[in-house]
Structure 1
Amino acid sequence: MPIRAVLWDLDDTLFDHAGAEGAGLALHLAAERLPAAGALERWRESTRLHWARFAAGEIDFDEQRRERVRAFLGAALSDAEAEAWFAGYRAHYRASWRLSPDVLAVLDELAGDFRHAILSNAALRHQDHKLRTLGVRGRFEAVVCAADIGVHKPDPAAFLAACDALRLPPEEVVHVGNEPDIDAAGAVAAGLGAVWLDRDGAGGRPELLRITGLGSLPALLRGGTRFGAVSAIG
């Protein structure tokens, strides 16, 4: 069957989350007069730990934010204190939001030939706001988020929910994302096509169809590619 739609991951695929995270944390630490040495690594480790708890259903979305702050600061903060600290970080993080540089040109090039949707492991209220702030919400028919549907990538049910939102069978949809397991391998397991966006050139997953920049995607989608075949492009 022909590919009719592209299902996009958002953070670190279209949106430069890593850049905004680093810039936002540095600004917030400066405002709080806290040391920056090693802070970004500790913040990311705290995020990985408590996001995994959220994905497992142990805590809700807002609690994972509070727990990230407590772990990062090593302090037994009240909910209000943790929320206030996170709000300060979030303001600096949001001021640093940017699309990745290759995004708009590729969305423009694909606009006439493919339908588009987002599948994110975050919450709709946050991702919808992010897309609107970045000026691209209208480019996507649907935004499907794990926190709202109750299932996370790489669970095949998450990908199938997004296909249902598009009213397309999975074999007519290609998922593009930056995580080899959560995005690409998960999409393949659900019966979708999959492209791993390996911006850092990490490699090491020969079973996945891989690109190192979005500029390679239009030719890939239009070239009769057998998705799931071994390839490295970029």
Structure 2
Amino acid sequence: MPFGAPADPWIPPNLRLVCLDIDDTLVDFTAACRTALAVLLGRSDLWPLWERITERHTAMVVSGDLDYAAAHLRRTQCFLGELGVVVDTEHASGFETRRKELVRRSWRLFSDVLPCLDWLRAAGVLLAAVTNASGAHQRAKLTDLGLARFFDHVAIAGEIGVAKPDPVMFHSVCATLGCTPEEVAHVGDKLHTDAVGARDAGLAGIWLDRGSCGEREVPEGVHVIDGLDELPQLLVSEFARIGVPAQR
């Protein structure tokens, strides 16, 4: 290029696929689970312990050391054990059955979900739900809440053998739907698991920071929105064209 010649302008890529996390992105999962634990145990301060134990057992599912059913039982036994309650498999199974039923009754969509999904469908993009949680559990949730009809693909970490933020998780979704990473945006509520992981895999990483007070540190190359109502404007500003003709 001759000295002083203007640099080629940046041309934003086309958007062909939007990936969305499920829990606490589309569904107010934390509220439902916290409510269920509080009802079962009569106290509301145990959610951080449940989260830590859940993360540990989810990692064992992804690594192939446990299947989901076994992990859920062992998680319950471990959790109750931390509270000084030792239970056998039968009692752990009963606790887990009651907990799941309470959670299922409490599932609610965030108010911005359906308008956003309707807009994405109208824009012609492909949609994928990408989750680290149990496949059967998540598919039932999508069906119960009327969301299954929106998605072209549901990617489950335990079925793929890797979990977000591993790039393989994101790349497998791209490959399944015939897209390159630069044609894909991923939205999720977890900064590092969702947004940074997607960014590092070559996708547009979007952090959905619900309830933010506005004071936050956002890593370079990560986009941030406070609600899904802000997603359409972000996508239009970051991509040259929203959607391509796609077979449904």
Task: State TM-score, norm by structure 1.
Answer: 0.87
Answering whether residue 26 of structure 2 is matched by residue 6 of structure 1, we say no
Shift of 1:204: 1.8
Task: Kindly provide the amino acid, as one letter, of the partner of residue 80 in structure 1.
Answer: E
Residue 157 (structure 2) aligns with: 146
Answering whether residue 119 of structure 2 is matched by residue 106 of structure 1, we say no
Shift of 1:8: 0.7
Listed as ranges, the gaps of 5+ residues in structure 2 are 1-12, 241-248
Shift of 1:83: 1.4
Residue 232 (structure 1) aligns with: none
Residue 3 (structure 2) aligns with: none
1:23 counterpart (2, 25, 35): 35
Answering whether residue 59 of structure 2 is matched by residue 59 of structure 1, we say no
Q: Distance in 2 between matches of 1:179 and 1:41?
A: 16
Listed as ranges, the gaps of 5+ residues in structure 1 are 227-234
Answering whether residue 86 of structure 2 is matched by residue 76 of structure 1, we say yes
Aligned length: 221
Asked if the contact 2:37–2:44 (Cα under 8 Å) also holds between the matched residues in 1, the reply is: no
Deviation track 1:88-145 (CA, whole Å, cap 9, x = no partner) reads 1000000001111111111112211122111111232221111000001010000010
Identity value in percent = 38
Q: Distance in 2 between matches of 1:54 and 1:147?
A: 6
More displaced stretch, 53-62 vs 96-105: 53-62
Residue 220 to residue 190, structure 1, CA distance change in 2 (3 Å): same
More displaced stretch, 204-213 vs 179-188: 204-213
Residue 45 (structure 2) aligns with: 38
Q: Distance in 1 between matches of 2:153 and 2:143?
A: 13
Q: How large is the RMSD of aligned CA atoms in angstroms?
A: 1.8
Residue 229 (structure 1) aligns with: none
Q: Distance in 1 between matches of 2:78 and 2:135?
A: 25
Residue 206 (structure 1) aligns with: 219
Answering whether residue 102 of structure 2 is matched by residue 88 of structure 1, we say no
Shift of 1:24: 1.9
More displaced stretch, 115-124 vs 137-146: 115-124
Q: Distance in 1 between matches of 2:183 and 2:233?
A: 17
Specify which structure has the bigger relative contact order, considering alpha-carbon pairs within 8 angstroms and separated by 6 or more residues. Answer: 2
Asked if the contact 2:73–2:96 (Cα under 8 Å) also holds between the matched residues in 1, the reply is: yes
Q: Distance in 2 between matches of 1:57 and 1:200?
A: 35
Deviation track 1:5-38 (CA, whole Å, cap 9, x = no partner) reads 11111111111111111122223x1xxxx43152
Q: Distance in 1 between matches of 2:157 and 2:113?
A: 23
Where has structure 1 moved over 4 Å in runs of 4 or more? none
Secondary structure in structure 1 of the residue aligned to 2:205: strand
Residue 173 to residue 47, structure 1, CA distance change in 2 (3 Å): same
Residue 117 to residue 64, structure 1, CA distance change in 2 (3 Å): same
Q: Distance in 1 between matches of 2:118 and 2:70?
A: 38
Residue 4 (structure 2) aligns with: none
1:169 counterpart (172, 180, 193): 180
Residue 245 (structure 2) aligns with: none
Secondary structure in structure 2 of the residue aligned to 1:53: helix
1:224 counterpart (214, 221, 238): 238
